[in-house]
Amino acid sequence: MKFIDVPGRVLRKYFVFEGRASRSEYWWWFLITCAIEFVLQLFIPVLAIIAILVLASPTIAVTARRLHDQNRSGWWQLIVLIPFIGWIVLPLSCIRKGTLGPNDYGEDPVESQP
- The model carries a pTM of 0.89
SS3 103: strand
pLDDT of residue 36: 94
**Structure confidence at residue 8 as a pLDDT band (50, 70, 90):** confident
What digits encode the pLDDT tens for the residues 76-110? 999 999 999 999 999 999 999 999 999 999 999 88
Q: Bridge-partner residues for 106, per DSSP?
A: 103
Q: Where are the domains of the chain?
A: 3-112
